[in-house]
Amino acid sequence: YNTMAARNSGNPVKKVPIHLQSSQNRLIIKGAKIVNADGMTDGDVFIEDGSIKEIGKNLIIPGGTRTIDARGKYLMPGGIDTHTHLQMPFMGTKSIDDFYIGTKAGIAGGTTMIMDFVIPEKGESLIDAYQKWRSWAEDQVCCDYSLHVAITWWSEKVKNEMEILVKDHGVNSFKVFMAYKDVFMLRDHEILAVLEQAKKIGALVQVHAENGDVIAENCKKVLAAGVTGPEGHELSRPEEVEAEATNRACMLANQVNCPLYVVHVMSKSAGNVIAEKRQQGAVVFGEPIAAALGTDGTNYWNKCWRHAAAHILSPPLRPDPTTPGYLMDLLARDDLQLTGTDNCTFSSEQKKLGAGDFTKIPNGVNGLEDRMSVIWEKGVQAGKLDPCRFVAVTSTAAAKIFNMYPQKGTIAAGSDADIIIWDARKTRTISAKTHHHATDNNIFEGMTCHGVADYVICNGRVCVDEGQVKVLQGYGRFIHRAPFSPFVYDLIREKDARRAAALKPVPRSGYDGEMVSIAQQV
């Protein structure tokens, strides 16, 4: 137990008995091309007790150490999925991938850590909701996890609980919704209050950027016109509804100089807003998801209802088929910074809740298992990302922004041994028939991707072994994240200083002319 506890002080004691890991507590991976966000080297990686101990050539290692031959393959930090909703109660049902199945699917595809969202109900204590999510995840997760917390209502109590979560519970990110009117949506003055508090306590505000008022009105019109199928979803919330909210969120954050993180960037125009704001110096980060990089909104017009409904999420995929390539270009240029999935899966039976009314189709798609392959295929294989940029957008940027670096997000001595050995020559074809998700549909059905995770190592444990998935339920730990991530708040501090300097009165002599008299109101 000791090394685990020491590596992650403040965490509850590790639940997995050490004997379950000891047979594999030493591992050497030989001959790989080691890829980090800032460069590639050839060498061997020695792992002991869950962390990377040494990197180099001709390392002297203890006898009995397992050797993995990785010649001709890439060795990279495991993926960090910044955005999942496992077993989330939503729209009258619950997403079908639970913390066991979801993390298992993620590991199968090369993801070694997830960040899920606690979503308190209106009026519910944030701490209570957080404890509920912890209890759901704790004995289920196969890989490390962390939690963002959503702010779905506002009060003094919520404000205080944000601070408690940051100080005592390892949370440094809070999501606000500008959509889902009457459910999760906050008004601008409430979002401002969240931003003010987040800045004070060193947290990052994440935003679901869509104009909820406009969507509510449009839904009525689209249904009244007789459009009840999945295409109504996109018709009621087109691109500009996302772009407007993205711009408004950036403006609100900029007014209080609080860092902002736009989750699930789904359209060209929302991506452009973020790119432009960043050029103007705003501290804003954009997260496109696997769905938007791998497929598009033409699927909503598919003649098969089940097919179309499987693609429903918010904001929607865009019917412009050049959108995925455009978002990948933004990612390549660092106009967008990192990727998640918004994995929130529902079976076709669950999607059926919206059979006669698209507004009742549970919102959410898969991605956790396939994100790494989809981004490799559409990014690296397509010649848009080099392997270093691939690592940056799938792992390193997440670790930095959410303040887990260098424990996570890099191959370095002292870092957690969250590692994938990736064979870029192999291909696989994605299908619901073979995936590890609990759902019967897959939005990437039939897509062939280069890049297969031959080995996936979580905290030193081989969880995919020569392509065989060998996960351990409850093995993952909760990762505490400290506030004031330097990769985020250093920029904020500099801007604060500049703004304070600019905020000074002009010294001038008074105006001594006559002043008009205002008539007394009776």
> Which residues sit at the interface with ligand URP, rule CB under 6 A?
85, 208, 264, 313-314, 342, 344, 363-364
313, interface contact from Zn ion, ligand URP, none, CB < 5-8 Å by kind:
ligand URP
Stretch that binds Zn ion, among 133-141, 200-208, 226-234, 498-506 (CB under 5 A): 200-208
Give the residue with the Cβ less far from ligand URP, 86 or 380: 86
* Per-residue burial over 260-276, b = 16 or more CB atoms within 10 Å of its CB, e = otherwise: bbbbbbbbbbbbbbbbe
Scanning residues 436 to 465, which ones bind Zn ion (CB under 5 A)?
none
CA distance 506 to 511: 14
Give the residue with the Cβ less far from Zn ion, 259 or 316: 316
Using the rule CB under 5 A, is 304 a contact of Zn ion?
A: yes
- Least separation in angstroms between CB 25 and ligand URP: 38
Give the residue with the Cβ less far from Zn ion, 365 or 462: 365
- Least separation in angstroms between CB 183 and ligand URP: 10
Give the residue with the Cβ less far from Zn ion, 153 or 484: 153
Q: Which two tokens stand for residue 84?
A: 């999942």
- Least separation in angstroms between CB 149 and Zn ion: 13
Give the residue with the Cβ less far from ligand URP, 363 or 459: 363
Give the residue with the Cβ less far from ligand URP, 305 or 487: 305
363, interface contact from ligand URP, Zn ion, none, CB < 5-8 Å by kind:
ligand URP
- Least separation in angstroms between CB 363 and ligand URP: 3
Report DSSP letters for 46-90, one per residue: EEETTEEEEEESS----TT-EEEE-TTSEEEEPEEEEEE-TT-EE
CA distance 54 to 56: 7
Give the residue with the Cβ less far from ligand URP, 206 or 407: 206
- Least separation in angstroms between CB 491 and Zn ion: 25
Using the rule CB under 5 A, is 433 a contact of Zn ion?
A: no
Residue with tokens 């999420």: 313
- Helix 212-224 to helix 239-255 angle, to the nearest 10 degrees? 170
Residue 17 CB neighbours (<10 A): 9
- Least separation in angstroms between CB 72 and ligand URP: 38
Residue 283's alpha-carbon distances to 205, 248, 250, 286, 339, in angstroms, are 11, 14, 9, 10, 17
- Least separation in angstroms between CB 310 and ligand URP: 12
Counting beta carbons within 10 angstroms of the beta carbon of residue 240, is it exposed (0 to 12), middle (13 to 18) or buried (19 or more)? middle
Residue with tokens 């990948």: 328
Q: What is the DSSP letter of 478?
A: B
- Least separation in angstroms between CB 278 and Zn ion: 21
364, interface contact from Zn ion, ligand URP, none, CB < 5-8 Å by kind:
ligand URP
Containing 278, the helix (H) or strand (E) segment is helix 268-279
Give the residue with the Cβ less far from Zn ion, 350 or 459: 350
43, interface contact from ligand URP, Zn ion, none, CB < 5-8 Å by kind:
none
- Least separation in angstroms between CB 314 and ligand URP: 4
Q: Is the peptide bond before 507 cis (omega within 30 degrees of 0)?
A: no
Q: What is the DSSP letter of 360?
A: G
Integer Rg of the chain from CA: 24
Residue type for position 44: D
- Least separation in angstroms between CB 178 and ligand URP: 10
CA distance 148 to 116: 6
Stretch that binds Zn ion, among 92-100, 301-309, 434-442, 471-479 (CB under 5 A): 301-309
307, interface contact from ligand URP, Zn ion, none, CB < 5-8 Å by kind:
Zn ion
Using the rule CB under 5 A, is 352 a contact of Zn ion?
A: no
Give the residue with the Cβ less far from Zn ion, 169 or 208: 208
Contacts of 252 (CB under 8 A, 6+ apart): 188, 191, 192, 195
- Least separation in angstroms between CB 312 and ligand URP: 7
304, interface contact from Zn ion, ligand URP, none, CB < 5-8 Å by kind:
Zn ion
Give the residue with the Cβ less far from Zn ion, 13 or 304: 304
Using the rule CB under 5 A, is 181 a contact of Zn ion?
A: no
- Least separation in angstroms between CB 289 and Zn ion: 8
Contacts of 60 (CB under 8 A, 6+ apart): none
Pick the binder of Zn ion from 97, 239, 342, 377 (CB under 5 A).
Answer: 342
Give the residue with the Cβ less far from ligand URP, 119 or 421: 119
Pick the binder of Zn ion from 30, 134, 181, 307 (CB under 5 A).
Answer: 307
Q: How many helices (H) and strands (E) does the chain have?
A: 18, 18
CA distance 338 to 148: 16
CA distance 145 to 458: 11
User: Rounded to the nearest 10 degrees, how much is the dihedral formed by the CA atoms of 420, 426, 430, 432?
Assistant: -70
* Residue with the CB atom nearest ligand URP in the bound state: 363
Give the residue with the Cβ less far from ligand URP, 78 or 364: 364
Enumerate binding residues for Zn ion (CB under 5 A): 208, 304, 307, 342
